[in-house]
Every structure is written in C-alpha cells, then in structure tokens.
Structure 1
Amino acid sequence: MPKNKKIILVVTGTRAEYGLLESTIKEIMKSKKLELRLLVTGMHTLKRYGLTINEIKKDKLPITKVVKIKERSDMLDALAQEIIGIKKYCEKNRPDLILVLGDRDEPFAAAITGGHLGIPVGHIHGGDVSGAVVDDYIRHAITKFSHLHFTASKYSRQRVLKLGEEKWRVFNVGAPGWDNLKEEKYLNRQELADKFKLDKNKKWFLVLQHPAPLENISVIRQITPTLKAIARHDAEKIIIYPNSDTGSDIIARTINNYRGRKNYHINKSLERKVYLSFLKHGDLLIGNSSSGIIESGFFKLPTVNIGNRQSGRETGRNVIHAGYEEKGITRAISRALSADFRENIKMENNIYGSGAAGKKIVKILERVAYDHKLLAKKFTYAKIK
C-alpha cells in the first residue's frame, strides 16, 4: 500500500446501515488516495437477526475485522462489547479516520472510540431528527464526537451547525440511500412472486416496524394495531424482523404468531437488493423505518408511517402519518391505496440529494488535511452573556 494513502475504517453493524454505506465503501475502494478497512459488528453477527454478515461476504467486500456480539445481548451490553472490540482493533491498527453512519449503538461505539483515541471521525446522516426515540440522543452525541459531518439535507446541515460545529466541517451531500438506485438491477415482480411464493395479482404490503421504547405505550401496544389493520386486507404481507432496540424481542415474538398463516411471509432479514425490489414493485410500506421516509420517496411508494419514531424527519408527499390506533392505521392504509393518492405523489420532488452522496463523501475525504486542525474542534456557540 502506498504510504500516502489514508486508511479509512468503515464500521457497519446492521443490514440497513450497510446498504446505505455500500456506495461509499465502493467509492473508497476505487480511490487512489484512500485505503479501505471494513469492521463488521453488531446485528450483523447475530443469528437471531439473520446473520447478515453473510450479505457482505456475498457482495465480496473485504472484511478486515469482525467484532462479535454475544447472542441475547441487549443494546447496552452490545454497546460495551463494541467499544472494547473497536478499541482493541484501533490501538493495534490505527486508521486515519473512522467513518460511521446513523444513530445506532455500533456507530456510537466507534465514535466514542475515535474520540478517546484521538482518531478523527466522519459521520453520515448527522443532524436528522427522528422523534421521541433514543436514536436522536445517540445521533447528536455522535455529532459531538465527530470531526467531519456528511448530512442528507440542508435542514440537517443547519441542525449540525446549531449544535456548535464549524461550517468547514459540515457538508450537505444528500442521502446515500438514493445512491445507485437508478442503476440497481432489481428483481421484477414475477421473480419476487416466485421467490417468496406470492400472488402477484394481489396487493403487496411490506411491513417493517421497530420498537420505540420512549413512547408512552408498551411495545406490544405499538405493534398489535398494525397487525390488526393489515389483517383487514386480502393482501400479501411481507413482514421483516425489527432492529435490536429494546423491545425488539416482543415485536419478533408477536409477528411470529402469524408465521404459517395464509398470505403472511415472515423474514428475519432481506438482502438490500431484494428489499429495494419490494419498494419498487410493492403497493404499500407500513411501519416506522427510515427507508419509509427516504428510499420510498425514490420509488413513489405510498408509505404509512406509524408513531413518532420518524416524526421529526422531512417527508415527501408519499408518506401518511398515523398513530397507534387500529382505526387510524386502517384509514391511512385506505388512503394510501387510493388512485388519487398514488396519482398525486407521481410528481414528488427529491428532497434528499442527487444520488451521488458516496462520491461526494469520498472526494471530501481525499482532499481533507488529516492534521491537528481536524482533531482540534472548536465550538461556535454564541457567547453566554
């Protein structure tokens, strides 16, 4: 490896975040000025979430280090294990920068490690606002541990600046979830129907709902109305396991009660290509995943966003918000399936960039000076009088 190449350690912990990082990872691999190191941890290493590290291996990306998490670990236990594992790796193999995305325990662990070891951290998707969830706390904490910020929208950039970050550190690159969506080779509807034994003449509902532990109702009362509402429709229900947030086991057990029922298809995980193919060919997305806010807009897919987990994000016209009441969710589904609604969202404007976030991020990483100025953060808060 040429000495002038800068080593970028990309940390990934979940199926969803890996899909968002993929374009940036591949751009780093093509760069003549950067050298990729890929550390895999978190949900990727857990059987109960589909052992999604295999998706990375299938994509033939070079995995440098695996930090395994013990099965049945809760989020705090996982965070502790991730910090220890990432710390040990970075002490022996010091990178020039740690690159993370999002608002989960895995990027948080990496950012904490970088901050304490004096390693610059680059953060993608900072400045977003979800809602009444711990994700916001983690995301903004990662911002304060980070030295370069790659935001998905102009409003997210403004929030990062309001958190006291210097302007020269903050770049609005757009959402990496839009990268390569035009060029992706999707499965067609018939291929999906064959693969999952679906009736292609019925409506297809894609369901992905994560726990929202800070809500004032229990997790079981969050997911039950959703399942009751979709049961009213003679549609194919493709249901995906939630992430590993507190309460995920409750949701997993609840949706597993529907396993084996007609028109119900329960999946621990879906490969990103398959998931995106469902966004392209499906009729409705229901739940509270950020993909219902960001990627669904690219496909003009009607989305029913449930609860407050994503309530703070900028949304397109394809998104209908609903609470945790069965009647409200049912009304939202009916509206989303209407011909008028589908026609109205066809002219949706793009609020999340041009689909070139990965390229923009790598160009910035190539030109930045990896010096004391990058590490020595100054905060731009107004003086207290």
Structure 2
Amino acid sequence: MKKVMVVFGTRPEAIKMCPLVKELYKNKEFHTIVCLTGQHRQMLYQVMDCFQVTADYNLDIMQKNQTLFDITISILTGMKNILEKERPDLVLVHGDTSTTFATALAAFYMQIPVGHVEAGLRTYDLSAPYPEEFNRQAVGITARYHFAPTDTARQNLLREGKREDTIYVTGNTVIDALQTSIRKDYTHPILEWAKGSRLVLMTVHRRESFGEPMYQIFRGIKRVLDEFEDVKVVYPIHLNPVVRDTANAVFGEHKQIKLIEPLDVLDFHNFMNTAELVLTDSGGIQEEAPSLGKPVLVLRNTTERPEGVAAGTLKLVGTEEERVYQEFRRLLTDRAEYDKMSHASNPYGDGTACRQIVEIIKRTL
C-alpha cells in the first residue's frame, strides 16, 4: 500500500484539497495522511468541518503578527519531523502558499516526490501576487507531478522546461468542491437583509494592495454605493488587522455594506451563488464564480488566471479608484455587458479533477 501525504494550511487550500482527500479515502490502494500546518486557524477548521475531513497531524504554527520568516521556518522544521516519521511515497501540496513552498522544499530535501495540485499558474511578476508567484514557481522546480488546471497552465510549464510526461491537465479541484456545497434551499439572515436589492459579494485581502491601493479600491466601491441605493455589498472580511482597519476607515457604518466575519465554505459558495456579481482580489474565486455564471471584477493589476479573462467572465480592473468605480458602475448599468460576462464559458473543468488526479497517482506512483 502506497502512503500519500496531503499537506495544506490555509482556508483556500483546504477548499481545494479536501475533495481530493475524500477521493483518496475511497481508494484502498492508498494510506492517506492529512497534515495541517495551521497557517490559518479558525478559517481553516471551518472548511475541515464542512467537508468532514480530519487531520492526522497539525503543526499549529499560527501566531499573532506572524511574518513570512516565521511561517516558512516553522513549517520547514515541523515538516522535517513528520516526514522523517512517516516517510510517505508522495507528498501532495496545493497552489502557491508559504505552506506549499516550505512543504515542497522539506520533501525535496528528503528526496520524497512532490505532486503539485493547481500547477502552472503564472504572472511572471514576483511582486504580484506576493509572495505567491515566487512560491508556485519554486514548487514547480521541485515537483515530480504537475496537475495543471488548464491547457494554459500546461503551456507555461512546458515553456519552463518541465517534462511533458509529468504534466497532467485535470481541471481545478475547486469545481469539485462546488458540486458538494451549493444548496437550492439555502437561506441566511444576511441574504434576507439584502433581499430586494442587487447583492454584490466582495473579498479584498492581498498583501500587495496594503496601503493606498486598498484605500483606492474601497473608495471606488463606496462611490458606487452612494450612487445606487438598490445595491448592497457583503464583505466577509479577512482577519488581518491591516485589512480591517482600512475597510472601517473608508466604509464606516455605511448602511449598504455588511462587514462580516469570514464565512465557512458552504455559506460562502451559496452567497456567491445568490450574488449578482463578485468583486475580488482572491485567486480561487476567479475560478469558482465562472462556474456559477457570476461576472467577476478582479481588483488586481495582474492575474495568473488569464483563461477567465480570455473567456470573458473575468475583467482585470486594477486598484485605482476611478477605474474600480467606472467598471463596477458599468456592470450595474450596462445589461449587455453584464449578460456577456455572466454567460461566458467556464474554462476550469467539469468537476472530475480529484478523480483524475487519484487515477493518475494510481497508474504512475
């Protein structure tokens, strides 16, 4: 029996890796071990509970005001001990977090094969997103298996010299997650608050937007709310105090926006399914929203998900106040533009990514 260790540490990783863990559990060919780093805490445990996945190990590294140095050193040291004990045949990591980078580096040092889920996403700008672009490129160097969500991601890996027989286009596991979380009969008190209005779901948290860019994003959104009384925004706000202080400074007690605590994955997916459109600088939401037919304004200057932009369901609008205001306003007033974005095709797969990944591992490990 082959031993497969799945490692993740943040809420976005958990959303995309828990369906893969559950698919691995179905296969008697594998002994599956789940290891959390605890890079996130409350937000991470919400997702685990939702998918009914339990951890075999938890490094629980999260500390107040942790830096990238703290995260990387703690994970690298902690993973060394676990990998020495378990000696897995394969370590699976996801995407572009510090958990992903440090775990892949630890496995590389111990000569344990690494499988990279959501491989090949690139902006080729190490400052945006920061530090994620470095993390995913570095993991790509160490990985033996590259599970790319799209052919665009595959082409990126081929241009970088990755062997063709190590790259597999599977779609994105987040589409698998959505298939289990959307509820037709879903209700929530905040959705009742927004009833009769046009609901907009927003997430903003990127490090590269801290400071003036984030103030500009929020000011642009506030101008739209001041102009359109029938629009309400729900903002599940990140735990980072920098984000919270900025949002409170701009929005204050504005009656058309709800700053709420982070939602669990089931709630978030169903809020998104109810919303008219999405404002975000998140990566995963750029994949989730297209599968639900929701237009997305990407509040960043670059995106590693150009497939969504090419398909027409994402629009890259940057962080400048005037552009955010104009593009947000346009989607509220230009029905043809809205319909064009909401009916664009989803480029991120058919919800079978986890099954494909497990079959590839069975066939090749």
TM, length-normalised to structure 1 = 0.85
Residue of structure 1 equivalent to 2:143: 146
Q: Deviations over 1:199-247 (max 9, x none)?
A: 211121211122243xxxx62211112222222323322113348xxxx
Aligned equivalents of 2:57, 2:274: Cα separation in 1: 36
In structure 1, list runs of 5 or more residues that go unmatched.
370-385
Asked if 1:227 is matched to 2:223, the reply is no
Superposition map of 1:257-336 within 5 A: 257=249, 258=251, 260-310=253-303, 313-315=306-308, 316-336=311-331
Superposition map of 1:27-176 within 5 A: 27-45=23-41, 50-69=42-61, 70-130=63-123, 132-134=128-130, 135-176=132-173
Q: Secondary structure at the match of 1:71?
A: coil
In structure 2, list runs of 5 or more residues that go unmatched.
none
Residue of structure 1 equivalent to 2:245: 253
Aligned equivalents of 2:252, 2:2: Cα separation in 1: 48
Aligned equivalents of 2:218, 2:207: Cα separation in 1: 16
The equivalent position to 2:13 in structure 1, one of 9, 13, 17, is: 17
Aligned equivalents of 1:254, 1:137: Cα separation in 2: 27
Q: Which runs of at least 4 in structure 1 moved beyond 6 Å after TM superposition? A: none
1:71 Cα deviation (Å)?
2.4
1:76 Cα deviation (Å)?
2.1
1:90 Cα deviation (Å)?
0.9
Aligned equivalents of 2:299, 2:307: Cα separation in 1: 15
CA 1:209 to 1:96, structure 2 compared with 1: closer, same or farther past 3 Å?
same
Q: Secondary structure at the match of 2:262?
A: coil
1:260 Cα deviation (Å)?
5.0
Contact 1:152–1:353 (Cα < 8 Å) also in 2: yes
Contact 1:259–1:266 (Cα < 8 Å) also in 2: no
Asked if 1:203 is matched to 2:198, the reply is yes
Contact 1:304–1:336 (Cα < 8 Å) also in 2: no
Q: Secondary structure at the match of 2:196?
A: coil
1:126 Cα deviation (Å)?
1.4
Q: Which moved more, 1:279-288 or 1:142-151?
A: 279-288
Aligned equivalents of 1:136, 1:54: Cα separation in 2: 26
- What letter matches 2:283 in structure 1? S
Q: Deviations over 1:248-295 (max 9, x none)?
A: 542232124446542332234211111111221101211211134211
Aligned equivalents of 1:101, 1:365: Cα separation in 2: 15
Aligned equivalents of 2:253, 2:358: Cα separation in 1: 46
Q: Deviations over 1:7-31 (max 9, x none)?
A: 1111111111111112211100111
1:128 Cα deviation (Å)?
0.7
Q: Secondary structure at the match of 1:290?
A: coil
CA 1:207 to 1:281, structure 2 compared with 1: closer, same or farther past 3 Å?
same
Aligned equivalents of 2:203, 2:182: Cα separation in 1: 23
Aligned equivalents of 2:174, 2:156: Cα separation in 1: 20
Aligned equivalents of 2:52, 2:347: Cα separation in 1: 32
Aligned equivalents of 2:243, 2:342: Cα separation in 1: 33
Aligned equivalents of 1:240, 1:195: Cα separation in 2: 11
Residue of structure 2 equivalent to 1:358: 354
Contact 1:221–1:324 (Cα < 8 Å) also in 2: no
1:363 Cα deviation (Å)?
0.5
Contact 1:288–1:309 (Cα < 8 Å) also in 2: no
CA 1:346 to 1:260, structure 2 compared with 1: closer, same or farther past 3 Å?
closer
Q: Which moved more, 1:304-313 or 1:154-163?
A: 304-313
1:195 Cα deviation (Å)?
4.8
1:54 Cα deviation (Å)?
4.1
Contact 1:173–1:353 (Cα < 8 Å) also in 2: yes
Asked if 1:345 is matched to 2:341, the reply is yes
CA 1:252 to 1:188, structure 2 compared with 1: closer, same or farther past 3 Å?
farther
Aligned equivalents of 1:38, 1:169: Cα separation in 2: 24
Aligned equivalents of 1:58, 1:301: Cα separation in 2: 23
Asked if 1:181 is matched to 2:140, the reply is no
Q: Deviations over 1:306-341 (max 9, x none)?
A: 222426632231222212222211111122223212
TM, length-normalised to structure 2 = 0.89
- What letter matches 1:228 in structure 2? R
Q: Secondary structure at the match of 2:211?
A: helix
CA 1:197 to 1:242, structure 2 compared with 1: closer, same or farther past 3 Å?
same
Contact 2:202–2:280 (Cα < 8 Å) also in 1: yes
Aligned equivalents of 1:366, 1:259: Cα separation in 2: 53
Aligned equivalents of 2:305, 2:343: Cα separation in 1: 23
CA 1:346 to 1:313, structure 2 compared with 1: closer, same or farther past 3 Å?
closer
Q: Which moved more, 1:102-111 or 1:164-173?
A: 164-173
Aligned equivalents of 2:214, 2:281: Cα separation in 1: 11
Aligned equivalents of 1:320, 1:7: Cα separation in 2: 42
- What letter matches 2:4 in structure 1? I
